[in-house]
Structure 1
């Protein structure tokens, strides 16, 4: 008996490797700016009252920087402005932005501040002094220009 075998072809498999993705990590510099939490309570009549003297002074200058003069005036600008509302607002006519540094003892109504007032012409005026806060409002200030 004669057996004839027909060979079956062996399949050829070609594998193309998938490219491995390249991951590039670029280091970043992250600058953290402290953002103090301000506690706000609602006073009789629904007006917010800031509970720390530093928060009051900070909010006062944020309002001025934002050109929300009515809010700054209500926060105590009327007590420390030295003039009527319109005259007080005119005093900030050339102020473009304010940077503020403060220090105080916890629970104290006294806040020591250094104020850097950037003017619309790019120059900076520097002031320093002390604010007194009572009942969530600026009640007095002793500030002088230092530069």
Structure 2
């Protein structure tokens, strides 16, 4: 299919066009950079703002390249971030209880009130045998009552949800009214 092929241009023609365009760009750029149009190639009678080739070049205002630092009157920004308020009182007791359960530290959980929720330590600890982790959400504290919900993730991946409250006295859980939802 020779007729589908475009005719070839003579070599060198496109190079000449590229070279001419590049030279023209350099000349225009040099004139623009010079700004006033009064370079050594200008004739003495040329009008201000005209280039050596007689084309009118817009005036260019020279800008200073000096960079001055901003005034240092600004105050430094504090990088100290206050830590969130640590729970205290009954809320802290419930959170500490479940932190011990999640660590499988059943002796600490027993001392924080597990002994008031079950009569036998072995039965108490065994009750968490299939519990992988308990996530606690506290909705509020009303006196000694800590209103909460629990999301108990089981070792097989199932979840059990509970809601209710724990009653705390002197840093120990003394009662709970929780129901599965």
TM-score strictly above 0.5: yes
| TM-score of the aligned structures, taking structure 2 as reference length | 0.52
**8 Å Cα contact 1:103/1:112 also seen in 2:** yes
Pick one of 97, 103, 112 that aligns with 2:133.
97
User: Which structure has more RCO (C-alpha within 8 Å, separation ≥ 6)?
Assistant: 1
Question: Which residue of 2 is the match for residue 78 of structure 1?
Answer: 115
| TM-score of the aligned structures, taking structure 1 as reference length | 0.63
Task: Tell me how far apart the structure 2 counterparts of residues 36 and 80 of structure 1 sit (CA, whole Å).
Answer: 29
Task: Tell me how far apart the structure 2 counterparts of residues 97 and 35 of structure 1 sit (CA, whole Å).
Answer: 24
Deviation at 1:36, TM superposition (A): 4.4
**8 Å Cα contact 1:54/1:103 also seen in 2:** no
Question: Which residue of 1 is the match for residue 35 of structure 2?
Answer: none
Structure 1 or 2: more strand by fraction: 1
Question: Which residue of 1 is the match for residue 124 of structure 2?
Answer: 88
Q: CA RMSD in A?
A: 1.7
1:37 aligns with 2:73: no
Write out the 4+ residue segments of structure 1 that deviate beyond 2 Å after TM superposition: 103-106
Decide which structure has the larger Cα Rg and report it.
2
> Number of aligned pairs?
99
Pick one of 102, 107, 115 that aligns with 1:65.
102
- The verdict on how the C-alpha distance between 1:88 and 1:105 changes in structure 2, with shifts beyond 3 A counting, is closer
